[in-house]
Chain A
Amino acid sequence: MSAAAAVLILAVVLIVLALVYFLVATILELRKIVAGLDRVIAHVGGIVEKSAPVNDVVTTINEQLDAGVAALEGLLVKKAGLRDAVGLVDGLYPGAAAEGLRDFPESKEIVPPRIGEVYTKGTLTLARLGREAPIAAASPRGAVLRDVESGSSAARALYPAGREEGAAALPRSPIIGTDSPEQYERRQDIGLPRKRFPAEQS
């Protein structure tokens, strides 16, 4: 064998060795990639499986909450009237009146009346009276009087003189409801013609 042939064979062998080394190393790396992708696929499958019912559940929750909001808004508007309802909401959450009630788009047009956090019939009556009312006397043209930080003191400020004398002697508020100890029957003559008493006989 000549020297030239030996060098040629050596060159071919070197090339083959380089091919083997690099290809084997590449195969090993590709196997690592395959193993990693298997782990990724397993975890992604878990994500898909776990998140499958989320859409349905969240939709149901939103429907329930929508129904609750609609019922509460409807009850508030039914009992307080749209204008006072907007005022109440704005009293509890200043600035919320601008967004209006969700199911009552016309509520956005209403200028909210200033109603404090204590919403009783008497308080509202006083509030409607205007500046003379205790709830409006402090700042009749200012913002709502509700004190977010200390709501109870704001309510207490309505009656600065303290508890009414003899309040302890007053009868307690009646217990109402189907299980109340005393059942009040509804009068049967409401809506009927007024009773005519017999004329006095002279």
Chain B
Amino acid sequence: MTGVWIGAAILLVVVLPIVVVLLKGVLDAARSIVPAIDSIAATAEAGSKDLDAAALLLTTREQVKETIAGVAAYGGSLDVILDDAEAA
């Protein structure tokens, strides 16, 4: 009978607090991850939204091509109508 009392006391005084402390630690760690995940999700969403303008780079590329073609045509005309520099 004494052994049963000792076992019950150990369970109540030692095992139960240890189990509670350990599980509470795990729970607190899991709860602390959630805000970080939410923050990462918000940042990723903002980054993804910022990149919506990346599609305009295709238009920019075409405009740069047209601009350079215009500059080349203009330079070609200048090359025709202007004399070259005299050789030193």
Contact = CB atoms under 8 A, between A and B. Distances in A.
Contact of A2 (B4, B15, B38, B48): B4
Contacts of B83: 79
A2 B1 CA distance: 9
Interface residue range, chain B: 35 or more
A77 B81 CA distance: 15
Given A7-B8, A15-B16, A43 B68 contact: no
B24 to A, nearest CB: 6
Dominant secondary structure at the A interface: helix
A26 B23 contact: yes
Interface in A5-27: 5, 7-8, 10-12, 14-15, 18-19, 21-23, 25-26
Contact of A61 (B55, B64, B71): B64
Interface residues of A, number: 53
Interface string B4-31: 1101100110011001100110110011
Nearest to B20: A18
Nearest to A62: B64
Contacts of B47: 43, 47
Nearest to B81: A176
Contacts of B20: 18, 22
Interface of B: 1, 4-5, 7-8, 11-12, 15-16, 19-20, 23-24, 26-27, 30-31, 33-34, 37-38, 40-41, 44-45, 47-48, 51-52, 54-55, 57-58, 60-61, 64-65, 67-68, 71-72, 75, 77-79, 81-86, 88
14 contacts: A8-B7, A8-B11, A18-B16, A22-B23, A26-B23, A33-B37, A43-B44, A43-B47, A43-B48, A61-B61, A65-B68, A78-B79, A78-B85, A79-B78
Interface of A: 2, 4-5, 7-8, 10-12, 14-15, 18-19, 21-23, 25-26, 29-30, 32-33, 36-37, 39-40, 43-44, 46-47, 50-51, 53-54, 57-58, 60-61, 64-65, 67-68, 71-72, 75, 77-81, 83-84, 176-177
